[in-house]
Structures are given as C-alpha cells and as structure tokens.
Amino acid sequence: MKKYSLAVDIGASSGRLILGSLDQQQLKLEEIHRFENKIVQKDQHYCWEVDKLFDEIKTGIKKCQEKGIKPESIGIDTWAVDFVLLDENDKSITEAVAYRDPRTDGVMDEVFKQVSKEKIYQETGIQFQKFNTIYQLFSLKMKQPEILNKARTFLMIPDYFNFLLTGKKANEYTNATSTQLVNASTKDWDDQLLDQLEIPKKMFQEIKPPKTILGNLSDELVAEFGFGMKVVLPATHDTGSAVISVPELDETIYLSSGTWSLIGIENSLPICGPKALQYNFTNEGGIDYRYRFLKNIMGLWMIQEVKRNYQDQYSFAELVELARQADGFASVVNVDDERFLKPENMVMAIQGYCQEMNMPVPKTAGEVAKCVFDSLVNSYQQAINQIEEISEKSFTKVNVIGGGCQNEYLNQLIANKTNKDVYAGPIEATAIGNMVAQLMAIGEISGIDEARTIIMNSFEIKKYTTNCEGKETKCQ
C-alpha cells in the first residue's frame, strides 16, 4: 500500500499542503490545498494571522480525508525569525509580529552596546539583519519588558503550529539558528549571550534537529480528522528545506530564489572569521548539522511589489518581456538598501535611489523591471565572488531552486553575468526538502545522498550557459 507524507509549506504570501509519495524511487507530488498569507496591521504592528493559518492547515488535512488518503506523517516549514510567546497557561501573550515591522529600527545599535558585533558573530555566525529574532526580543525588553517577564514559552512559527498539532513543545534546529541566539559550535542556545542581553533563558525549549519525530496528533485532532499522523520536524526554516532539495551530490553554489534570494554553499563547519563578518554571511543550520553558509539578499519581493504598484496591470511574464525589451537601460540599485525592505511604493523607492546616485531614472515598467533583475544579478555576482574568496574554492555552476527558477530571463542573466552554468530546478524545492526529511525520518529514504539522487531523477532541471548569447530560452 502506497505511503503518503504531507508537507505544509507556508511562505510570506501563500501557503500550501502537498502530498508526496515514493513510486519506484521517484517522488510524486500533489498539491491538495493552497491559501493566502499576508501581513495585517494589529495594534500598530504588522503581524501574521497565525490562527487563520492553522485553520488552513486543518482544512488541508481534511482534504486528505475527503480523498481517502491517510498520510503517515506531516511536516511544517515557514519563513524564519518570527515567533510567539506563551504564558504559564500556554496562552499567547504576543501577536506574531512580522519581520518587516519597524519595531526593530535602531535596536541593533542598542544590542551592540551590550555585546559587540564581533562577539555576536564569533559565537553565532549569523548574518546581521535588523529583523533577526535577537533584535525583536531586545525590542520587547526595551519597550514592553512585562511581556518577557510573563513569557514561559518561546516558539517560532512552525514550532507553534507543531505545538497546536501535538501539545509538545520544541524549537527546531534550523529555524532556531536564524534567531542569532544559537551558538554555532555547541548548536544550542547561547546562555552567555542571553544573560548579557538579559533575555530570560527559561522560555526557550530544547532544540531538536530535522528528522525528529516530535509525536503524534493530539487525541482531539485525531477525532476531528478521523485518522492520526506522526508529526515530523523537517528543516522548519523554509530555506533549510529548500537547500535539502538541491539536486547535486558535488559541491555547488545554490540560489534559493523566491521572495528572498539565499545564495551560498553547504559546509561541514561554520565560517565565523573576520572576512565572513565583513561580507555579512550567515552560517544557518542545515540537515544533519550541516551549515548553510549563505547571504540573504532581497529577492523577487521587489518585482512582486513593482507588479502591485502598477495595480497588477502586468503579469510577471509581461514584466519579464518588458524588461527584455528595455535592454538598453543599465541602472542598478543596491537591493539590500533598507529602503527596499517595506517601502510605501517600490517603484518610487527605486526611482529615488537612482536619482540620489545620479544614475538614469527608470520611467517605464520595463525599465523598472530591468533595473530590478539587473540589480539582483549584480548582487548575486558579488556574493559568488565573496564565497569563492572566503572558501578559497572555484565553482563552475549555480543551482537555482524554488519558484524563481521559472524565470528563464533571470536564469540567463545569471549565467551571462557569472560565466557559470546555471541549473534551474526543482521549482517546489521547499516542499520537496520538507517531504524527503519526513521520508528519512520514517525510514523510506536512507539519507541525504539518496534523497538528492531521487530528486535528480524525479524533476526537470533546465540548464543555461553563457553560450546562449543572452537569449531567454534554455540551452538544453
């Protein structure tokens, strides 16, 4: 009898539940439920609607029931850094405030008055971004210390959903590392750092790695769904799951392309030296305690916002075509400038940057789109140069995974700019990585190498080379 697992993959704009099964060493996927996710304003903060999201998870599970399918396991991944706090009665005492909320403005400098930037990086190896959990928690300490005093449980977003499913509390490793509060060497909460920042240690849970079977569905949910499942910890940080699905057994540069762009390599040890700090690279946790040495770059969020600013007048495909037609426009922006994190109007933010830098200002939708794509590729090239410098290795290819790998124009720009072969796919990288972690946990796949071989044999991978002379089609 065919065994199924259920991957819950929730990103910044949407979520979905995907059924997966192995059929003659090929992974078969079927999306059974998709839903919207968005940031809403609550009490002057930008927040996630986590209770609605959990209701959507339950709706998806019930659709399995309607199809007559009873999955063996379920695993949840989401974005990183955000969290909820529970009191002594396991009731939420915070909204799930979103990382784009301005509550962390200026907080990094306040943290550095307590602990030096160099010390934090040496201990945690995590990239400095103003929205990291460490700064969100320190913001609470500064402005609402009574909340931290009441907190008894710290759960990141997928941890919270797992608690609602099972009643069991744990902090999953890959997502926990994104807090900038986990020691890169011990792989546990950095007690000294927490003490120095006066953040209460008692609210943090035991850190458990991907492939852990957390437990079974609660009796209440078994009665509601009509069946039980094992709740497995995948890499609950969505990029951690995505990197599992890189279809390559040899060393390669990967680019997880979506709302954010995550570009890096996989390592057995963290790199926490001065040069990595200078270039602001991160050492996030990965499967089997591998390290994802990568840079977090503003991604396709920019073109998503451009599309919205033009009142969805153009589809993404049309924006790509308009960008191709604006071939002569050459201005680029620094995509990691904070003004692009959550501007009132992305188009105006891009135009304002160009004007300030005395560059030609994009006027048409095509010129704006061309500026975004060229700017992203420029940032990718810079990151690749830095990776090769720090690692003292040269790489011949880039594996682009995730939804952004469908943008053939962008893939070709990457190949042309980097002079490296670009392999695009799989598209559903995060859900696939989530799925294979579950299959490893329940004994259907032996390990990461077998998982990646299965992925290579299951999904189309497109290749782009510089020999294509800038054309928008794949080479082979």
- The tens digit of pLDDT for each residue in 398-432 reads 999 999 999 999 999 999 999 999 999 999 999 99
DSSP reduced 3-state for 241: helix
For the structural domain made of 5-238, what CATH number should be given?
3.30.420.40
Other beta carbons within 10 angstroms of residue 190's beta carbon come to 22
Residue 471 confidence (pLDDT) above 90? no
How many percent of the chain have pLDDT more than 90? 95
Mean pLDDT of 323-349: 96
pLDDT, mean over the chain: 96
Q: Give the residue numbers annotated as catalytic, written as ranges.
A: 238
Distances (CA, A) of 96 to 27, 39, 83, 103, 364: 34, 10, 6, 13, 37
In this chain, the answer to whether the domains covering 5-238 and 246-425+446-476 adopt an identical fold is yes
Predicted confidence band at 468 (pLDDT cuts at 50, 70, 90)? low
With contact defined as beta carbons under 8 Å apart, do 372 and 365 qualify? no
Contacts of 81 (CB under 8 A, 6+ apart): 99, 131, 132, 133, 136, 156, 178, 179
With contact defined as beta carbons under 8 Å apart, do 333 and 371 qualify? yes
Contacts of 233 (CB under 8 A, 6+ apart): 75, 162, 170, 172, 208, 209, 210, 211, 212, 213, 214, 437, 441
Q: What does the pLDDT read at residue 343? A: 95
CATH number of 246-425+446-476, picked from 3.40.50.2300, 3.40.120.10, 3.30.420.40, 1.10.287.3510: 3.30.420.40
Predicted confidence band at 210 (pLDDT cuts at 50, 70, 90)? very high
Q: What does the pLDDT read at residue 441? A: 97
Q: What does the pLDDT read at residue 2? A: 84
Mean pLDDT of 66-74: 96
| Cα 335-341-343 angle, rounded to 5 deg | 110
Mean pLDDT of 155-181: 98
Residue ranges per domain, the chain? 5-238, 246-425+446-476
Is the peptide bond prior to 102 cis by the omega test (within 30 degrees of 0)?
A: no
Q: How would you class 24 by CB atoms within 10 Å of its CB: exposed for 0-12, middle for 13-18, buried for 19 or more?
A: exposed
Which pTM value belongs to this model? 0.92
Predicted confidence band at 372 (pLDDT cuts at 50, 70, 90)? very high
Both tokens of residue 366?
A: 């095509």
With contact defined as beta carbons under 8 Å apart, do 5 and 440 qualify? no
How many percent of the chain have pLDDT more than 70? 98
Residue 33 confidence (pLDDT) above 80? yes
DSSP reduced 3-state for 59: helix
Mean pLDDT of 386-396: 97
Q: What does the pLDDT read at residue 104? A: 97
Q: How would you class 125 by CB atoms within 10 Å of its CB: exposed for 0-12, middle for 13-18, buried for 19 or more?
A: buried
